Structure 1
Amino acid sequence: MLKEEFIYKRSPKTISLESDLVIVGGGLTGTCAAITAARTGMRVIVVQDRPVLGGNASSEVRLWVLGATSHMGNNNRWAREGGVINEIMLENIHRNPDGNPLIFDTVLLEKVIEEKNITLLLNTAVFDLDKSAEDTISAVHAFCSQNSTQYQISAPLFCDASGDGIVAFLAGAAFRMGAESQEEFGEKFAPDKAYGELLGHSMYFYSKDVGRPVKFTPPSFALQDITQIPRYKTFNPKDFGCRLWWLEYGGRLDTVHDTETIKWELWKVVYGAWNYIKNSGLFPEAETMTLEWVGTIPGKRESRRFEGDYMLKQQDIVEQKQFKDTVAFGGWSIDLHPADGIYSDQAGCNQWHGKGVFSIPYRSYYSKNINNLFIAGRIISTTHVAFASTRVMATSAHGGQAVAIAAFLAKKYGISPREVGTLHLDELQQELIKSGQYIPHLKLSDLEDLVQKAISIQASSTLKLKEIPGADFWATINHSVGQMLPVSLGKMPSVTVWVDADKATELIVELRKSSKSFNHTPDVTLEAKSVSLKKGKQEITLDWKAEFDDACYAFVCFIKNEHVKIQYSETRISGIVTVFNATNPAVSNYGKQEPTEDIGVDTFEFWCPQRRPEGRNIAMKLGTEIDLFEAENLRNGLQRPIASPNAWVADYNDRNPTILLTWAEITKISTIAFVFDADYDHPMENVIFLHPETVMPFCVTDLNVYNDKNELIGSIENNHQNRKTITLSEPVLTQNLKIELANSNENTPVSIFEIRCY
């Protein structure tokens, strides 16, 4: 028994901890930063004020994770973020294709606790900090409500990924809150005060049909008059979760200190909306439905933004500015919301897309006046307009990974975050690419990679693309469809396709490309043909005069004609995809982006892929083969399709191909790293969507590695990830490596992006 007499005042139990890096905030940004840093050998402490990881992606809020892919609703091909966030999304879709938010919680928790260098403090909130100098943090103080324990946590480096920037705020770091004027940065899309300067919070609900009548009596605080919401007629029993992202409020308030007030207003709206669905009599199908879950904390969009050495702005996004110190990228639309949210009579969002992904500089990821503080997530150094794109979770997580590698180098050299960018920028970028990070316009240049020193890379076969074989699947050209084909220097090959017209008609076919070779917006028309069709099935051959002066993607575009069907293929190939000039209202894609006034964004068409099992390639024969899938791609430093496939692809009929790496002399090998194709076009939303696959069709599932004596030295089985490494228990001495690969999807030729050896 514990018995203690009265004393004047007690102090809570206090534990002192120290590490190499303290990350405050356990959303996706902090989680990915922690895992990345821990894998470099850094000791990391993560301080998370919630009981689970994931922030807005957790089961507490249930927002889908999105970034540059934008629900496959923009022209950013193969743009899903890489590194740890990609690993997490692939793991989740493998285990959780039904989008259960509770399972996603476990994926995140597992990834963190498996890293022995991470100390995770859940339910622990930072409330104070110490400084060793005016511009240097020495420790943060935090309190855990569940174990009544106070923590004093010391480190040489800190990362604020807390969303509201609690550490940066307490440290006195320069910050902004609200929107800049158009004049300050020349941003034509900067909002006025009537529209509002802050984005609000959102809260969602889940419902389910229980198969019997269910009564609902609303709480007294529920919104009584649903017509106060201008879009109330949008409510229906089918929508739930973050499909109701527009249940938003708070942009006129202080989105830090008024969060509890905002929460109560959102509860009022949610229960009022459900009362309307259940009791208005307009939705008889709701009779057997019950309210299964309502969020208890709102999902925040915006509060403080902290100033770094550079503030990203609207023009950087639209013009796709290339920075010397790029470490991450984005691709979500510039997505502003009216500050009045649910009570606004305007559209719930105002989204404007770019023609491709944009770069984010390293200088936006550390405080300009606190010398040992990284900033990550939605609080990075951007204007309000640029923040409207960078704020989304996958983009934020990608930046968190950049911060983690920068912290590793800061520790390695005993320098500040700023000095990492000025003294070791190349090493930072190269280490990021090696860890799976995609950095626009940069290649991996790894001097330690033994594959770069191999005298030959031979494959048992290589795809010479002469044909995409036809299947017994024909579809009407209800939307213009374009087959993307990689091309290099020289003349465009002729294309033969098969069509079926229900009457004599004219079919318009256009050959297009992007105005920038690294983009995938077909905004340049090279040639247009009008083909006279007779009724019935027929073969047409399209001869082109166009020539290309650089590697890029050509778009063979069949313009909408509801009287014509075209034959498709069941064969899917790495770096090859069809795109459709259709619509995706969820991301303000109505086929074409046409601003009615000059707001500093481009006019262009959307040509986007379809989700499998749709999105088949068009069956066709080519007059000359496309020879861009060679084995040398395995060491070209690019790990995804950009202006070219950048993958080695085996012949259609070679289902168990081999790759032979040969060196001029006996070579010692300890580690073999692989990068597979796990379909960077797929957004892999973690909730709401149901995904038809748990393994991407292009992904190598099984692999064996043999030495020059034909002895098995390593293998991978039942793979679903895009990055795998074989670490040998003992180094091997060999003059060659033979790698056997297999892909479980019979309609997809075996492919791989990269092999590295050390």
Structure 2
Amino acid sequence: MIKDYIPEKRVLKNVELQADLVVIGGGLAGVCCAVTAARLGVKVILVQDRPILGGNCSSEVRLWVLGATSHMGNNNRWAREGGLLDEIMLENAYRNPEGNPLIFDTILLEKVVIENNITLLLNTAVYDLEKSDIDTIESVTAFCSQNSTTYKLYAPLFTDASGDGIAGFLAGAAFRIGAESKEEFGEKFAPDKSYGELLGHSIYFYSKDVGRKVKFVPPSYALTDIKQIPRYKKINTKDYGCRLWWIEYGGRLDTIHETEKIKWELWKVVYGVWDYIKNSGEFPEAETMTLEWVGTIPGKRESRRFEGDYILKQQDIIEQSIFEDTVAFGGWSIDLHPADGVYSEKPGCNQWHSKGIFGIPYRCYFSRNINNLFLAGRIISASHVAFGSTRVMATNAHGAQAVAVAAYIAKKYQVNPREVGQKYLFELQEELLKIGQHLPHQKLKDKNNLVHQALVISASSTLSLSEIPASGVFTDLKNGVAQMLPFHKGQLPTIEIEVNALEDTSLIIELRKSSKIYNHTPDVSISSITYQLVAGKQNISIVFDKEWEEDAYGFILFHQNPLVHLPLSNQRITGILSVFNKINPAVSNYGKQTPTEDIGVDTFEFWCPERRPAGKNLAMKFGKPIQMFKINNLLNGIQRPVSTPNAWVAAFSDKKPSLKLEWKSPIMIKEIQLSFDTDFDHPLENVLMHNPEEVMPFCIKNYKVFDDEDKLIYQKKGNYLTLNTIKLDQPLNTKSIRFELEHPSDDVPAALFEIRCYTANT
């Protein structure tokens, strides 16, 4: 029994904690920052004001994680973000292919709690801070509502990943809210006042059919006149979750201090929409449906954007500016929404794509005037227009991983964030590449990788692609289809393909390439041939009498003709894709991007893959084999297809594919890293959308590692991750290492992007 009485005011319990890095905000960006830093030995305190992690991708909001892949609806091939985020998404696909948001919560939480270097504070909101001088944060103060405890958190470095930028705001960091004028940065897409300067919040709901009649009595605050929503005629019973992204409001209000007011308006709309579905009589199928879940907090899109040493602009996205200090990339469309949201007469979004991914410089990830404050998540240094692309969660998390590595380097050399970029940029980029973070125009030059010292690197076989064999199944040409193929510099091979014409007709076949070698937008026509076909099946020989200028992808493009059918193959090969000129309205892809006015974006066609199990390669034969899968690709420092496949691929006929590294004299190996193909073209949406496989079909699941005495030193079964790190219990002294691999399946050959070996743990 406790009895207590004092006449004075009581004070709360106070706890002081010290770390190398305090991360404020436990959304996806904060999680990826904290875990990545912790794995590098940085002591981290992660402060989250909600009871769970994930922010907008948590079960509280239930937005899918997306970034440069854009639902496979743009021309950004193999563009899924790497590093820890890739690991999280693959883990979710393996454990949670049905996209249950509650399971995704557990995956994020597990990634954090298994790290001994992280102290996690949930339900803990930062509300104050102290500074050691005008430019330096000394500590932040936070309150946990669940244990009535005040925390004072000290660190030499802080990351603000809080969404609204609470730490940056309190510290006096320079920030912006709202849209810049067209004149400030020369951004032609900058919105005017009628469109609005801020994106609003959204709340979603889930529904389900319970198989029996269910009534719904709306709460008194529900919207009663559904016609207040201009798009009410598009309401249906099939959409739920983040497919209801257009239930948006608040862009005309203060999206920070009026969030509660915005939330109530969104609840009003949500329950009004459900009332319309249940009780209007327009949806008889809804009689047995019930409202399963409604969000209790809104998913925020926009509030403060903080100023770094560089502000990313529209031109950087569209022109794909090349930065010396690139540490992350984006690729989502420039996606702006009318400020009136659900009540607007305008379309719910206004999306414009670039022709490929764009780099984001390190200078966008730290405050220009608070010298120990990193920026992560949607608050990074970008204009309102550029923010329309950088704001999405996968892009946010990817950049936050760069912040984590920068914090590690800052700790290592006792420097501030700006000095990391000024003095240790190469090391920052190298460390990012080593954890699987793809950086446009950068290659890993790892002097510590013992593979570069190997006397001999050999393979049991290498794929020489002379044919993509037919399966006996044909696809029609209701839409244009193109086969992406990597070609060596020089004379192009003759291509033979069987076509089936339903009647006498003509078929246009065109050879295209991308105007930029690292893009996958087929915007340059090299040659076009028209073939006269007779009814029935026939073989045609495609001869492009052209010299290919450089090692790069070509597009063998078959123009739309519903009377013609093309053969498909069951074989899937790393770095080989078929793409289709179809539409994907979810990302404003209508086959071709055609701005009707000068808004600073390009006109081009969309040629995108279909999701598996569709999207098979076209069957064809090559007069000269395509030989772009050689073993030296393992040493080129690129871990995904870009302008070429960048992978070693074994021959289909090789029943036991293997690789061997041999050194002149014995070396000491403590760690081995392997980079597998987990299909960076697949977006792996974490919720709502079902993933067709638990393991990506290109990924090597089973492999063995042997020493120079042919002794088994490591075996892996059931791999599903991109980056495998093998840390040996005892250092291995050996003159050679042999890797015995299994083909992922009969239709997919074994492929590997990179091998790295180290004398000590990296």
Give 1:719's aligned residue. Answer: 719
Find the aligned partners of 1:208 and 1:538 in 2 and give their Cα distance.
50
1:356 aligns with 2:365: no
In the TM superposition, residue 493 of structure 1 has moved relative to its aligned partner by: 0.9
Find the aligned partners of 1:35 and 1:26 in 2 and give their Cα distance.
11
1:536 aligns with 2:542: no
Amino acid of the structure 1 residue aligned with 2:101: P
Contact 1:702 1:742 in 2 (8 A): yes
Give 1:619's aligned residue. Answer: 619
Give 2:128's aligned residue. Answer: 128
Find the aligned partners of 2:96 and 2:749 in 1 and give their Cα distance.
26
1:31-430 counterparts in 2 under 5 A? 31-430=31-430
Give 2:589's aligned residue. Answer: 589
Amino acid of the structure 2 residue aligned with 1:218: P
Q: 1:409 to 1:120 in 2, by over 3 A?
A: same
In the TM superposition, residue 6 of structure 1 has moved relative to its aligned partner by: 3.0
In the TM superposition, residue 220 of structure 1 has moved relative to its aligned partner by: 0.2
Give 1:679's aligned residue. Answer: 679
Contact 1:499 1:567 in 2 (8 A): yes
Percent same amino acid among aligned pairs? Answer: 64
Find the aligned partners of 2:683 and 2:29 in 1 and give their Cα distance.
17
Amino acid of the structure 2 residue aligned with 1:531: Y
In the TM superposition, residue 547 of structure 1 has moved relative to its aligned partner by: 1.6
Amino acid of the structure 2 residue aligned with 1:724: N
Give 2:648's aligned residue. Answer: 648
Amino acid of the structure 1 residue aligned with 2:365: Y
Give 1:556's aligned residue. Answer: 556
Give 1:433's aligned residue. Answer: 433
In the TM superposition, residue 546 of structure 1 has moved relative to its aligned partner by: 1.9
Give 1:739's aligned residue. Answer: 739
Contact 1:366 1:418 in 2 (8 A): yes
Give 1:567's aligned residue. Answer: 567
Report Cα offsets for 1:418-460 as digits up to 9, x if no partner: 0000000000000000011010000000000000111121000
Report Cα offsets for 1:187-231 as digits up to 9, x if no partner: 000000000000000000000000000000000000000000000
Find the aligned partners of 1:254 and 1:548 in 2 and give their Cα distance.
55
**So what's the TM-score if we normalise by structure 2?**
0.99
SS at match of 1:753: strand
In the TM superposition, residue 656 of structure 1 has moved relative to its aligned partner by: 2.4
Contact 1:655 1:749 in 2 (8 A): no
Provide the alpha-carbon RMSD of the alignment: 0.6
Report Cα offsets for 1:39-58 as digits up to 9, x if no partner: 10010000000011110000
Contact 2:481 2:560 in 1 (8 A): yes
In the TM superposition, residue 690 of structure 1 has moved relative to its aligned partner by: 1.1
Contact 2:25 2:162 in 1 (8 A): yes
SS at match of 2:403: helix
After alignment, is 745-754 or 178-187 more displaced? 745-754
Report Cα offsets for 1:378-415 as digits up to 9, x if no partner: 00000000000000000000000000000000000000
Give 1:464's aligned residue. Answer: 464
SS at match of 1:108: helix
Contact 2:250 2:262 in 1 (8 A): yes
Find the aligned partners of 1:52 and 1:577 in 2 and give their Cα distance.
39
SS at match of 1:745: coil
Contact 1:715 1:726 in 2 (8 A): no
Give 1:691's aligned residue. Answer: 691
Find the aligned partners of 1:746 and 1:259 in 2 and give their Cα distance.
54
Amino acid of the structure 2 residue aligned with 1:9: K
In the TM superposition, residue 488 of structure 1 has moved relative to its aligned partner by: 2.0
Amino acid of the structure 1 residue aligned with 2:362: Y
Give 1:446's aligned residue. Answer: 446
Report Cα offsets for 1:640-663 as digits up to 9, x if no partner: 000000000000122420001111
Report Cα offsets for 1:479-517 as digits up to 9, x if no partner: 100000001210111111111111000011000000000
In the TM superposition, residue 7 of structure 1 has moved relative to its aligned partner by: 2.6
Contact 2:744 2:750 in 1 (8 A): no
SS at match of 1:557: strand
In the TM superposition, residue 713 of structure 1 has moved relative to its aligned partner by: 0.8
Give 1:4's aligned residue. Answer: 4
Amino acid of the structure 2 residue aligned with 1:509: I
Find the aligned partners of 2:130 and 2:625 in 1 and give their Cα distance.
66
Amino acid of the structure 2 residue aligned with 1:538: Q
Contact 2:481 2:580 in 1 (8 A): yes
1:730 aligns with 2:722: no
SS at match of 1:193: coil
In the TM superposition, residue 356 of structure 1 has moved relative to its aligned partner by: 0.2
Contact 1:584 1:590 in 2 (8 A): yes
In the TM superposition, residue 676 of structure 1 has moved relative to its aligned partner by: 0.2
Contact 2:657 2:743 in 1 (8 A): no
SS at match of 2:62: coil
In the TM superposition, residue 354 of structure 1 has moved relative to its aligned partner by: 0.2
Find the aligned partners of 1:450 and 1:549 in 2 and give their Cα distance.
34
Amino acid of the structure 2 residue aligned with 1:477: L
SS at match of 1:88: helix
Contact 1:655 1:750 in 2 (8 A): no
SS at match of 1:51: coil
SS at match of 2:713: strand
Contact 1:43 1:117 in 2 (8 A): yes
Find the aligned partners of 1:231 and 1:656 in 2 and give their Cα distance.
58
Find the aligned partners of 1:582 and 1:304 in 2 and give their Cα distance.
37
Find the aligned partners of 2:610 and 2:210 in 1 and give their Cα distance.
33
Amino acid of the structure 2 residue aligned with 1:730: Q
Give 1:518's aligned residue. Answer: 518
Give 1:607's aligned residue. Answer: 607
In the TM superposition, residue 745 of structure 1 has moved relative to its aligned partner by: 2.2
Find the aligned partners of 1:199 and 1:744 in 2 and give their Cα distance.
44
Find the aligned partners of 1:652 and 1:538 in 2 and give their Cα distance.
27
Find the aligned partners of 1:510 and 1:397 in 2 and give their Cα distance.
39
After alignment, is 653-662 or 411-420 more displaced? 653-662
Find the aligned partners of 2:715 and 2:409 in 1 and give their Cα distance.
32
Give 1:706's aligned residue. Answer: 706
In the TM superposition, residue 334 of structure 1 has moved relative to its aligned partner by: 0.2
Report Cα offsets for 1:135-189 as digits up to 9, x if no partner: 0001000000011111000000000000000000000000000000000000000
SS at match of 2:31: helix
Amino acid of the structure 1 residue aligned with 2:359: S
Find the aligned partners of 1:717 and 1:134 in 2 and give their Cα distance.
55
Contact 1:161 1:375 in 2 (8 A): yes
Find the aligned partners of 1:706 and 1:508 in 2 and give their Cα distance.
52
In the TM superposition, residue 665 of structure 1 has moved relative to its aligned partner by: 1.1
- Structure 1, unaligned stretches of length 5 or more? none
Report how many aligned residue pairs link the two structures: 758
Find the aligned partners of 2:88 and 2:549 in 1 and give their Cα distance.
39
Find the aligned partners of 1:559 and 1:593 in 2 and give their Cα distance.
18
Find the aligned partners of 1:745 and 1:137 in 2 and give their Cα distance.
54
Report Cα offsets for 1:348-396 as digits up to 9, x if no partner: 0000000000010000000000000000110000000000000000000
Contact 1:61 1:299 in 2 (8 A): yes
Amino acid of the structure 2 residue aligned with 1:693: E
SS at match of 1:399: helix
In the TM superposition, residue 744 of structure 1 has moved relative to its aligned partner by: 3.5
Find the aligned partners of 1:25 and 1:531 in 2 and give their Cα distance.
60
